[in-house]
């Protein structure tokens, strides 16, 4: 009896020993399998025990179950029943954790196809977030070296949230900005605080960044130095981050990467940087209690460099990229001019002329190469081009009035540089109109700028039909010569009087 017990005990010990041994050997075996290309499928990493067990226990049947679930998901989607989709996507991807296309399709389906099925933007946003989280939280966890997942993640930020194709894009941006504001409370956050957090508040923000958004502050700092300064509360910065991380991973695993994958990652970077340039600056509007977006003029150099680098590396699409680069430079010049950053505008205008000397700047106008057009002429042309109109007096006056209204509103929001830029442009547009119509007998003159300015201000400050009170107060605070708003006259219905003196906007 005792010998039998001893026999059983020794067998158990042997089993335990063998299991331990195989556990130790498994890692090196997996490494060798990977290295010698003995298996198509990589061993599952970072998987929870249930998933590890399921993938091994079900073996080849996993595919069948996954297919059945996929069919059910399609049927439910056709019937507009989306409440099960998150669960089904979770099961499908977990059954095929190494099948990259499964992750991509499921995430795309949620972020693009399902989201737009809802009329409320809050519902749409939930699905966009779910698509992002599927790739970021699970897809990358099981496939940390798959560049396609990084590219897709970057694309969701760049295209779904960043672009304006979805009617809900502003809501997405606002929600993302609100979420990110919990981590980055200002435009140029101190990333060192998140790399080496000291206070409990910093530690909490760093934890949120690492655990919820799966981002590494150290790498963010590198990205910021290479491509920034970026506004991390906006989606474009995150598109750049994930694409840059994909490139980094690709460099670490060069044998597994196709050249096309790298090109798509770089494309995400320069396109997102271009978007960042266009509206990569958050402007807090305390009066309307929301964020607004302005151009990030500090990254012109880096965006231009990114385009040039991409053109160099992607020979097949070189011409397209250079065309996009030229368009970017044209925008950069105009935006810098609009923001009254005239020396920088002149410098980039010069660079545009050097880089693309024989390309016309004005559509349909031959001989409008940079050497034949001055910076002022180009800026005015862009204004006119924006509204696609010619010499119609009413139209041009409306443009000038619009610019002055923008100037006053920018002033109310504390955007003094922009206000001055609009004022300057209004002046230039008026001068351009005058010089182009003075020889025309029948042309109607536009009133002096001072008069237009006074009319615009009267309209904006009108308590009945003008701007909201908070804006009016902000404008009056910036322009003390206007004085306080008169008390409403209760005896008549006439609007409150506004001073005739046109306030001066500095051209700083």
Partner 1 sequence: MQRLLAIAWLTWKAAFRFRLFIVVAVLLLASVVALPILIKDDGTARGFTQILLTYTLSTITALLGLSTLWLACGTLARDIEDCQIQVVAVKPIARWQIWLGKWLGIMSLNAALLFISGASVYALLQWRAGRLPADEQKVLRNEVLVSRGSAKIPTMEKEIEAQTEEVLQDRIKKRPVENAYLPEVKKQIREQVKADLQVVPPGYSRQWEIELGPAHRYLRDQPLFLRVKFNSAEKSPSGTFDGVFGAGVPRKTQLWRSDMLSLAPDTFHEIEITPNCFDENGVLTLTFGNPNTTALLFPLEDGVEVLYREGGFGLNFVRGLTIIFCWMGVLAALGLAAASFLSFTVAAFFSMGVLAMVLCSGTLANAVSEGTIGGYNAETGSKPGTAADTVIIPAFKAVLKVINLAKDFSPVDSLSTGRTISWGTLGVAFGRIILLLAGIIALFGIAVFTRRELATAQGTQ
Closest distance between partner 1 and the C-beta of residue 331, in Å? 22
- In whole angstroms, the minimum distance from the beta carbon of 490 to partner 1 comes to 33
Tokens of 390: 């010619």
Nearest distance from C-beta of residue 117 to partner 1, angstroms: 5
Residues 6 or more apart whose CB falls under 8 angstroms from that of 381 comprise 361, 362, 373
Q: Which of 90, 179, 216, 416 binds partner 1 (CB under 8 A)?
A: 90
Instruction: Note whether 297 and 273 are within 8 A (CB).
Output: no
Q: Which of the stretches 22-30, 85-93, 326-334, 440-448 binds partner 1 when contact is defined by CB under 8 A?
A: 85-93
Binding segment toward partner 1, per CB under 8 A, in 22-30, 78-86, 361-369, 480-488: 78-86
For residues 66 and 453, which CB has a smaller minimum distance to partner 1 in the complex? 66
**Inter-residue contact 274 to 323 (CB < 8 Å):** no
3-state helix, strand and coil shares in percent for the chain, rounded to the nearest 5: 70, 0, 30
User: Using the rule CB under 8 A, is 49 a contact of partner 1?
Assistant: no
CB neighbourhood size of 123 (10 A) = 14
Nearest distance in Å: CB 111, partner 1: 11
Give the nearer residue to partner 1 in terms of CB position, either 14 or 165. Answer: 165
Question: What is the DSSP pairing of strand 290-294 with strand 281-285?
Answer: antiparallel
Residue pair 76/69 in contact by the 8 Å Cβ criterion:
no
103 touches partner 1 (CB under 8 A): no
Residue 29 vs 165, nearer CB to partner 1? 165
Q: Is 363 in the site for partner 1 (CB under 8 A)?
A: no
Site for partner 1 in 130-149 (CB under 8 A): 130
Q: Residue 455 has which token pair? A: 């009319």
- Pick 127 or 156: Cβ nearer partner 1: 127
ω before 229 within 30° of 0 (cis)? yes
- Determine if 117 is a binding residue for partner 1 (CB under 8 A): yes
In the complex with partner 1, which residue's Cβ is closer, 131 or 228?
A: 131
**Distance of alpha carbon 216 from alpha carbon 211, whole angstroms:** 10
What is the spatial distance between Cα 457 and Cα 503, in angstroms, rounded to a whole number? 9
The answer to whether 80 contacts partner 1 (rule: CB under 8 A) is yes
Told to check if 119 binds partner 1 by CB under 8 A, we report yes
10 Å CB burial of residue 324 (0-12, 13-18, 19+) is middle
**Cβ 171 to partner 1, closest distance in Å?**
10
Q: Decide if residue 325 touches partner 1 (CB under 8 A).
A: no
Distance CA 256, CA 147 (A): 9
CB of 81 to partner 1, least distance (A): 8
Cα 194 → chain centroid: 22
Say how far apart CA 456 and CA 479 lie, in whole Å.
Answer: 15
How many CA atoms, within 13 angstroms, populate the side-chain half-sphere of residue 99?
Answer: 14
Shortest distance (Å) from residue 4 CB to partner 1? 34
Q: Contact with partner 1 (CB under 8 A): which of 47, 58, 86, 208?
A: 86
Of these, 83, 198, 366, 371, which contacts partner 1 (CB under 8 A)?
A: 83
Contact residues: partner 1, CB under 8 A: 80-87, 90, 112-113, 116-119, 123, 126-127, 130, 165-168
């Amino acid at each position: 009896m005792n010998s039998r017990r001893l026999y059983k005990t020794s067998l158990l010990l042997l089993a335990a020993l063998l299991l331990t041994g195989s556990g130790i050997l498994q890692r090196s075996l997996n490494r060798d399998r990977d290295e010698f290309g003995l298996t198509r499928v990589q061993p599952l990493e970072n998987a929870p025990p249930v998933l590890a067990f399921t993938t091994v226990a079900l073996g080849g049947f996993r595919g069948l179950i996954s297919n059945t679930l996929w069919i059910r998901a399609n049927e439910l989607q056709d019937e507009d029943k989306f409440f099960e989709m998150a669960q089904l996507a979770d099961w499908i991807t977990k059954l095929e954790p190494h099948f990259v296309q499964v992750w991509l399709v499921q995430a795309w389906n949620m972020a693009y196809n399902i989201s737009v099925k809802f009329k409320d933007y809050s519902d749409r946003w939930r699905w966009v977030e779910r698509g992002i989280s599927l790739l970021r939280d699970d897809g990358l966890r099981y496939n940390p070296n798959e560049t396609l997942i990084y590219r897709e993640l970057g694309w969701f930020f760049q295209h779904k949230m960043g672009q304006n194709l979805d009617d809900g894009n502003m809501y997405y941006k606002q929600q993302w900005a609100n979420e990110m504001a919990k981590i980055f409370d200002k435009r140029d956050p101190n990333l060192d605080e998140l790399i080496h957090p000291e206070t409990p508040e910093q530690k909490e923000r760093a934890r949120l960044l690492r655990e919820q958004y799966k981002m590494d502050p150290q790498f963010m700092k590198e990205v910021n130095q290479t491509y920034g300064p970026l506004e991390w509360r906006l989606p474009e910065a995150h598109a750049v981050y994930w694409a840059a991380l994909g490139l980094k991973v690709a460099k670490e695993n060069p044998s597994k990467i196709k050249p096309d994958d790298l090109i798509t990652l770089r494309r995400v970077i320069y396109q997102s940087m271009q978007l960042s340039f266009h509206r990569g600056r958050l402007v807090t509007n305390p009066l309307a209690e929301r964020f607004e977006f302005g151009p990030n003029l500090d990254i012109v150099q880096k965006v231009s460099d990114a385009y040039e680098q991409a053109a160099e590396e992607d020979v097949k699409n070189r011409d397209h990229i250079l065309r996009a680069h030229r368009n970017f430079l044209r925008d950069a010049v105009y935006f810098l001019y609009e923001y009254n950053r005239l020396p920088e505008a002149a410098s980039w205008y010069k660079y545009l002329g050097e880089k693309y000397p024989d390309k016309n700047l004005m559509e349909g106008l031959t001989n409008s190469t940079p050497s034949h057009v001055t910076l002022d002429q180009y800026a005015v042309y862009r204004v006119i081009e924006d509204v696609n109109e010619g010499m119609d007096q009413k139209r041009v006056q409306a443009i000038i009035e619009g610019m002055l209204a923008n100037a006053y509103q920018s002033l109310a929001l504390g955007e003094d540089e922009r206000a001055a830029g609009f004022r300057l442009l209004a002046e230039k547009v008026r001068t351009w109109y005058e010089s182009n119509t003075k020889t025309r007998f029948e042309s109607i003159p536009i009133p002096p700028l001072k008069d237009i300015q006074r009319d615009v201000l009267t309209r904006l400050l009108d308590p009945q039909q003008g701007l909201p009170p908070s804006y009016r107060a902000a404008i009056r605070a910036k322009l003390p010569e206007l004085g306080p708003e008169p008390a409403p006259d209760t005896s008549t219905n006439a609007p409150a009087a506004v001073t005739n003196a046109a306030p001066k906007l500095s051209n700083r």
